[in-house]
C-alpha cells in the first residue's frame, strides 16, 4: 500500500517523444506524477491544460510533471501537439504502473463493470519518497491545488 513517506515505485515507460522515462532519472527534483484516463477527453484535457498553463510555476517550484495513461505513445504525441503540453506524457498500455500506484479501479458505467483509471496524483520528493497523494482528483483546479502543496514544502 502506497502512503505518504513510502518510497515511490520506480518504473520505465516510453514517453510521447519516444524516449524512455523513469522516476529515478529525476532524482534530486520533485515530481508531480499524475494518472489520467484518456487523451482528448473533456476532464483529461482540462487537467492537462491547467498543468500547461501553470507550467512555469511548477518549474519555479523545482518540479517535473509526468502524466501517465494507458494510451499509446502516438496518442500522447497527438494530445501534446494539439494542446501544446510542455511536460512528459508516458504510455502505460499494459497498465503495470497504473496497478503499482493503485490508479486502476473497478468502475461502473451504463450497468457495466470494468477496470478503469482513477484520476490520481502523487507528489514525490527529491529522494523518491511520496510527499502527498491525491486519490480522487477533480480536474478543474487540481494544478493549483498541487502548486499550493509544492510551495508549502519550502
Q: Which residues are catalytic?
A: 44
H or E segment at 15?
Answer: strand 12-15
For residue 14 the three cell numbers come to 516510453
Which of these, 12, 15, 38, lies nearest to 25 by C-alpha position? 12
Distance CA 19, CA 11 (A): 13
**Which residues lie closer than 8 Å to 91 by C-beta, 6 or more apart?**
13, 14, 15, 16, 68, 69, 70, 71, 72, 73, 75, 76
Amino acid at each position: 500500500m502506497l502512503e505518504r513517506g513510502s518510497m515511490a515505485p520506480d518504473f520505465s515507460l516510453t514517453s510521447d517523444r519516444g524516449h524512455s522515462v523513469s522516476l529515478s532519472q529525476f532524482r534530486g527534483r520533485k515530481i508531480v506524477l499524475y494518472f489520467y484516463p484518456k487523451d482528448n477527453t473533456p476532464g483529461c484535457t482540462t487537467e492537462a491544460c491547467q498543468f500547461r498553463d501553470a507550467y512555469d510555476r511548477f518549474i519555479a517550484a523545482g518540479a517535473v510533471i509526468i502524466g501517465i495513461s494507458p494510451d499509446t505513445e502516438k496518442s500522447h504525441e497527438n494530445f501534446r501537439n494539439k494542446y501544446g503540453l510542455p511536460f512528459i506524457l508516458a504510455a502505460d498500455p499494459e497498465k503495470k504502473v497504473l496497478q503499482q500506484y493503485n490508479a486502476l479501479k473497478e468502475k461502473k458505467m451504463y450497468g457495466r463493470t470494468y477496470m478503469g483509471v482513477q484520476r490520481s496524483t502523487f507528489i514525490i520528493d527529491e529522494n523518491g519518497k511520496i510527499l502527498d497523494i491525491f486519490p480522487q482528483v477533480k480536474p478543474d483546479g487540481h494544478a493549483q491545488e498541487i502548486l499550493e502543496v509544492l510551495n508549502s514544502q519550502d
